[in-house]
Structure 1
Amino acid sequence: MPLTAVRETYRDVVDSAYALAAEAAKDPAGPGLAHARRMVAQAVARALPVRERCLIAPLRASRVPEHRECARQLIARTLQSRLNTIETNARWTTQTIAADPAGYRAAVADFIRDIEARIAEEIRTIHPLVLAAHATPASDQADRATAA
């Protein structure tokens, strides 16, 4: 099931974020922190193509306008998330983490809360649309699109 793959990759992102938080609590200047940051980045990088293939592509391919709009919104959220990540990584360099470890730990905690909330919201609102897009035959989708 495609949504299972999405949930698994999201779980990897969350797990790696919690590992990052644990490492930041132990030694924010240690080599383990750099490794934990890489693990988060790699988990996110693995999640993106799964998200594209399992969520965005079926919604984009649907003829139901609501599905296509949802795909557009997912793409926009993904781009905004990537920009936020770039900004966060630029802000929290090795030097700024060492200078403000409590601030970094708070930023990681905020990241975890944000990612968990976004995942929960996506599961609640978007996953049902993906299931509907898979369940709706192409001819029914075309009929709905023209009736809308």
Structure 2
Amino acid sequence: MAPPALQKQYMSSGDKPKKAVAEPRPSASILLISPINQILLLHRVRTSSSFPSAHVFPGGNLSASQDGDIPSPTDPSRHLDGPAYRLGAIRECFEESGILLAKKNDGSGSILEVPEEERERARKDIHAGKLRFADWVRDQGGIVDSGMFTVMEEAGEGNVN
């Protein structure tokens, strides 16, 4: 039997209100590997609310306003690869590292290049929710390079083609 001090720590009084447990938000990460097999890891800050000081792949929570339709918790596709997960991972990678995975929208297949000053401004505005990532990429003359889909914007909503 545990000492009384330890018993007290683990006993529930039953009088305390139970905290509501929020539904976990879906998230996505991306693994970037260079042609010479280098892997991109980001070092989280010590004061981070989740995984402080950890080395992680770029990624984070999905956002319906940024990434489009997110499968509901009861949808079987909630845990399958899909457009919202890919767009979310690519957006988070851009926000966190400045690496933009987008092609020119001219059919050339060339990488979309954006001046550093504009890229940095957009990273902050996208992270703050002031600017939609797919809209910004399109305005720069590009398309998100997900290897799966192209996000087209109509009336502020992402449609997958």
TM tier, smaller: under 0.3
Higher Cα Rg, which structure = 2
Structure with bigger strand share is: 2
TM-score (norm: length of structure 2): 0.26
Question: 1 or 2, which has the higher helix percentage?
Answer: 1
